[in-house]
Amino acid sequence: MLSLFALSALALTLPQEASDPSQVREIDAIDCRLSVPEYTGFALAVDGPEGIARARHWKEVASANPFMREYMLPADIVVAGAYRTRRIAFTADAILAILDVADPETIARGENIKNAMDPAPLLESLGPEGARRAEAEIKFRKFLGERVVKDETEKAGDGEAFGTHMTVTRSISNVTTHPGKTLYGCSYRMEMLDKDGKPL
């Protein structure tokens, strides 16, 4: 998860939107229903002065993954239509539901998301015997896929030093630190643009 300083700096650069972080539901963030500014405010407030995690009785749990900050919720939430969980996590730019689904493809098919790490083309190139040997060596089949939900660009206006490019993206993945789990969530990204619309 981004440091409080980094998130605060990011928040200062974002367009201001009237939104009370305490009114934002974690399920809405996971379902990609927020704007980038709304999500940033919410993420800052989880462990910020607003104390969303404390107020909602979230219990922070130790994570085997240094890039994830995990919480146990007091009650189940339902995501992707039918999957229940009490575990969520925050990364640098995303909120994730940790699901007891061993094969991410199970959910990805319904979301029209393909695996960017699909080994099938490589295996096919090895021929039947080579593919068989390679399959036997694979201990973990990585899944990493996403689908852009919202893509917005605001160019620098008169008298403004920069513009912004913001994307909201559905993400589905798995990681070796969480065997047998699928990470289902949404990322909220923003990059600064110069006056010519190029990334800074």
The model scores a pTM over 0.85: no
pLDDT tens sequence across 91-146: 999 999 999 999 999 999 999 999 997 766 555 665 666 556 656 556 678 999 99
Q: Which of 53, 48, 83, 45 is nearest to 70 (CA)?
A: 53
The domains of the chain are located at 4-193
Backbone angles phi, psi at 43, to 5 degrees: -60, -40
Q: Write the CB contacts of 167 (distance below 8 Å, at least 6 apart in sequence).
A: 36, 148, 150, 151, 152, 187, 188, 189, 190
Residue 31 above 70 pLDDT?
Answer: yes
Please say if the pLDDT value at position 8 is more than 50.
no
Q: When comparing pLDDT for 6 and 77, which is higher?
A: 77
Neighbours of 169 (CB within 10 A): 18
